[in-house]
């Protein structure tokens, strides 16, 4: 009687474990960056929902953004880095990139660009 082996070898299991650990490590490095970006998006949407936001001065818009960024613990960008373009509609542009150390001299770079129209 011949029996067939079932299951994974130790080497195969170690490769799978190494791949899972690598993916978890990259996720631990990148997820906070994306959570921070969603805080920035929420702040921009909050400014757009302000009454009469389209008629506010650029300094007032930056002040409101600065307060929202501070409350949301936003990193990687400051209110003075936000570009405000007057026109129909008023546009507030957040464009930035985040660089994170991964392994040794290998960095991960994540670029973001968010345009929020204010009516």
Give the pLDDT score at 34. 96
7-40: per-residue pLDDT in tens? 788 999 999 999 999 999 999 999 999 999 999 9
Whether 62 is covered by a domain: the verdict is yes
Whether 5 is covered by a domain: the verdict is no
Whether 1 is covered by a domain: the verdict is no
Whether 28 is covered by a domain: the verdict is yes
Give the pLDDT score at 1. 65
**Cα(67)–Cα(96) distance, rounded to whole angstroms?**
19
Q: Where are the alpha helices (DSSP H) in 1-119?
A: 10-48, 58-71
Domain extent at residue 55: 11-118
Give the pLDDT score at 9. 87
Closest CA to 77 of 89, 92, 91: 92
Tell me the whole-structure pTM to 2 decimals: 0.81
Q: Is the peptide bond before 89 cis (omega within 30 degrees of 0)?
A: yes
Our count of domains for the chain comes to 1
Q: Tell me what the pLDDT averaged over the chain comes to.
A: 92
Whether 2 is covered by a domain: the verdict is no
């Amino acid at each position: 009687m011949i029996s067939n082996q079932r299951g994974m070898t130790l080497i195969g299991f170690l490769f799978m474990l190494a791949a899972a650990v690598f993916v978890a490590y990259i996720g631990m490095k990148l997820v906070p960056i994306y959570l921070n970006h969603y805080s920035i998006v929420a702040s921009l949407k909050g400014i757009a929902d302000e009454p009469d936001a389209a008629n506010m001065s650029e300094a007032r818009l930056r002040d409101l953004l600065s307060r929202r960024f501070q409350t949301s613990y936003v990193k990687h960008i400051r209110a003075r880095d936000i570009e405000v373009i007057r026109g129909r509609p008023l546009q507030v542009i957040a464009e930035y990139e985040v660089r994170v150390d991964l392994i040794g001299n290998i960095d991960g770079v994540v670029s973001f660009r968010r345009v929020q129209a204010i009516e």
